[in-house]
Structure 1
Amino acid sequence: MLRWIIFVAIYGILGFYALQAIKTASRFPWVHYTFIVVSLLVVGNFLYQFTGDDQGRVLSRPKSYAFGFLLATLSFYLITIIFLFGEDIFRLFTGLYQKIAGDQKEFGIPARRRFLSVLGLGIAAMPFGALLYGMYKGKYNYKVLSYSLEFDDLPDAFHGYKITQISDIHSGSLDDAEKVAYGIDLINEQQSDLILFTGDFVNNQTIELVPWASTFARLKAKDGLYSVLGNHDYGDYIGWDSEEEKAKNLKDLKALQREIGFDLILDSHRYIEKDGERIALLGVENWGRGGFKKAGDLEKAKAGISKDDFKILMSHDPSHWEDVVIHDDYHFHLTLSGHTHGMQFGVEIPGWIKWSPVKWRYTYWAGIYKEMGQYINVNRGFGFLGYPGRVGIWPEITVITLKKKGLT
């Protein structure tokens, strides 16, 4: 209870301070009252959604949107306050200087300048509007990102072989059947030889995927669909009545993935054959750093394959690649991961800038990287979680074309 009182107090102070910029910029009382009402509705809805029954780390859609609106409002507050606070410091020192210099008999602080308040509000409106846009449109702004990767030892038969990777569907967060169906059509339009899914079909429970099963069952690839589990698929972030119920949920999720058409690879491997040649496709259970489940067993997955095989590994968390895979005595040519979502927020201008706060947590957080002669692609995710939107880091469908160096 105390934490909520502190939260409301801080929110109120920030809102009151931001209101001063509104009052300086506009003399119309209805503008002031609208700001107050909206601010109260946002915090009231957030408290209503988050002070009810605790269901572990489950974020329902109403909770997610309550969090999203609060995040947008706080971003508006904070940026506005930065301008106000800077000006208030200047006003304070100006008043002190005028008093000491004898320019005025009594100490007084100059009035705020309308220009700076208007400027601050205008700049604050940009992230506020971007976060709202991210919830309204950005979360389904699917992007197809295509890469060609060359390898010296790729079997000749696989020159030009196309792989589509998707990741982090988080079906419990999806809320627009038409947009999701468009995303599925976009995947199928790539006409890839393989479709590989690198984990997190659900947020917590298999039941989240049930309404979407027929939609994802439309995915097609000539050589099949393969998948691994992500950290959210195990049901670790929800309170279960018993371990048996939790185990049944995971069993049901595995079965449903197979019904959809995915061959779920858990600490194992498959061979993909073409024209008498083959490549090894490996999959591990989730292995993550920093408190995430470490269930994946790379040794078990590679048992029975040769060091000389061309190897593609599916592992949900890119920290596994950084900490284990690239240092293994087997050479894993290409690893496919997800997990980070690119934090669903950042700035990406190809060839110029690629930034997200998630880079402070993960060295490899989005896109293609190469270390020690081995590649990883970290997919930005198909869905979303927590904040119900995306800003700058768009939902991704990755198409990777394998090339044999020297062949055209």
Structure 2
Amino acid sequence: MADYDYDLFVIGAGSGGVRASRIAASHGARVAVAEEFRIGGTCVIRGCVPKKLLVYGSHFAEELQDAAHYGWSVEGMTFDWNVLRDTVLRDVDRLEAAYTTTLDNNKVDHFHERATVTGPHSVKLASGREITAQYILIAVGAWPVMPDFPGNEHCITSNEVFHLSSLPKRVIVQGAGYIAMEFAGIFNALGCHVTVVNRSETMLRGYDAALRDRLLQITMARGIEYKFNCPIKLVEKQVDGSLMVSVGDQDPIPADVLLIATGRRPKTDGLGLESAGITLGQGGEIPVDEYSKTACASIYAVGDVTDRVQLTPIAIREGHAVADTLFGGTLRKTHYDAVPSAVFSQPPLASVGLTEAQAREMFAGNVKIFTADFRPMKNVFASRHERGLYKLVVDAASDRVLGVHMIGPDSPEILQAVAIAVRAGLTKAEFDDTIALHPSMAEELVLMR
């Protein structure tokens, strides 16, 4: 490997790329990483971390309203979008510095410029420098999809939403996946009029139907409007800077901001992978084997750029596994069963394992369903009558818990522990044998009969 400039060259300094770089360096490899934007990647810079901070900020509207029912008098409440926005962006700066320090502390060289593949063992930087490496890891992530319709240049994506100069009064969100539902909840809580438009009739595809239905009911009661089966046809900018949006066969909708959240596509355009004999999939993804190896034996790929699960913890596990496999003397791969996921909508939902529909198909209908439909204690004094819903999907033959699905306050925090139980293959009887922690919402998980 001394014949190469580096043992490992990573393209993309997001969660997967940084983890792979750090672990490979800890194994003694000479490592470099190239990042054309900011170190930290989508999750840290313009994704789950700043978005979760916006969720926290928007929650105070609800908490302050409920405070009066608990004896607190809060007068003169006002909200300043600029303060929240700038506070979030400062934390992004802090995290980028922390990620950079991690690379430095592990003696990983980093180039702040675009890199493209020029062969099985070579890359070229935007500055023109060519670098060789025994192995190349592609970890460039994905990019928001912008649908093709007249006026789409007036729209924004999740990349730009964190930099809005002011809080819009009217927001249209196109899409009904987790990104769309999270931002719809944020803007709704901050007092914006929110309309969700979707080309199909399904929201949060892949999540259990009971949770989707409950979230729809609650968010509609909170004032979010939905227009299903309504693809956007045209966006026109008005003299005052506002937008007029034509959807489906309905009357045009006025808006101040139109956020496109219709999915993400692997960011592989122009990456030069064909020079190494790698053919992309139909969606632009890089096909890989169980060890994240591409069609070229010296090039690997992890994270959202592949056709596997697009979640930050998955990218981290994949990057770690590649580093261990190549330089740690241990063949390691990532397991994709019982992967927990959450939507930080308002209220949030969280899931792990099989949905009821998936279980009935896989087990020929031989499943048992247990539910707990309850009003969270914190809502009892509030004016909201929102109810939480927990659901267990159980294999009737073995009694093994196949899936857990939850909607209600703090569901993602609760689910992480439950995911361990599902991953371990625990049975419903073992859930039932666990003593409840009272009073808590989590106790509902061991009280379903």
The higher relative CO (CA closer than 8 Å, separation ≥ 6) is in 1
TM bucket, shorter chain? under 0.3
Structure having the higher strand fraction is: 2
TM-score (norm 1): 0.25
TM-score (norm 2): 0.24
Find the structure with the greater CA-based Rg.
1
